[in-house]
């Protein structure tokens, strides 16, 4: 049995492991590495804060507009349902490899909910036009 997600250090462990997979992934890695050209030194701390906000109720950990970043990225390269599905799969796999418990389940649900909410904004008949 694995520990649950309970501390900012746990969030960092999860996010670092997740983005290691993302960077190497054949389906979505190129979006991060080549299209968005993510500055990982900047992006990772922002993601630590985002997930601390969501999972640890740290209201001061994140201030931002994540949807706008993705709208801007979508203008460069269309984001498709399969990209969001892959993101969720990698995230949930990473959680399962490292953690177990209520917060771990919440993390997987929240990733799924984010992807399911965002997919129609970027792919389908009502998607933002590129």
Note the pLDDT of residue 130.
Answer: 58
Note the pLDDT of residue 64.
Answer: 83
Report if residue 127 sits inside a domain.
Answer: no
Report if residue 81 sits inside a domain.
Answer: yes
Ordered per-residue pLDDT tens for the chain, 130 residues? 899 999 999 999 999 999 999 999 999 999 999 999 999 999 999 999 999 999 998 878 888 888 888 888 988 999 999 999 999 999 999 999 999 999 999 999 999 999 999 998 888 777 766 5
52: domain range? 8-122
Distances (CA, A) of 27 to 14, 60, 70, 103: 20, 33, 17, 27
Q: What is the pTM of this model?
A: 0.92
Report if residue 2 sits inside a domain.
Answer: no
**What total of structural domains would you count in the chain?**
1
What is the DSSP-derived secondary structure letter of residue 28? T
Tokens 């201030």, located at residue: 63
Note the pLDDT of residue 26.
Answer: 98
Report if residue 68 sits inside a domain.
Answer: yes
d(CA 107, CA 14): 10
Report if residue 3 sits inside a domain.
Answer: no
Report if residue 24 sits inside a domain.
Answer: yes
Report if residue 51 sits inside a domain.
Answer: yes
Note the pLDDT of residue 1.
Answer: 86
Here the CATH number for the domain that contains residue 26 is 1.10.490.10
Note the pLDDT of residue 46.
Answer: 95
Report if residue 100 sits inside a domain.
Answer: yes
């Amino acid at each position: 049995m694995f520990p649950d997600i309970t501390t900012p250090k746990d969030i960092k462990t999860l996010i670092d492991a997740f983005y290691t997979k993302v960077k190497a992934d054949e389906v979505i890695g190129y979006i991060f590495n080549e299209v968005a050209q993510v500055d990982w030194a900047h992006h990772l701390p922002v993601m630590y804060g985002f997930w601390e906000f969501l999972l640890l109720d740290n209201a001061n950990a994140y201030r931002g507009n994540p949807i706008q970043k993705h709208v801007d990225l979508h203008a460069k390269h269309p984001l498709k349902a399969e990209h969001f599905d892959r993101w969720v799969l990698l995230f949930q796999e990473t959680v399962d490899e490292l953690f177990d418990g209520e917060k771990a389940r919440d993390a997987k649900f929240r990733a799924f909910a984010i992807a399911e909410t965002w997919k129609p904004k970027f792919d389908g008949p009502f998607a933002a036009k590129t």
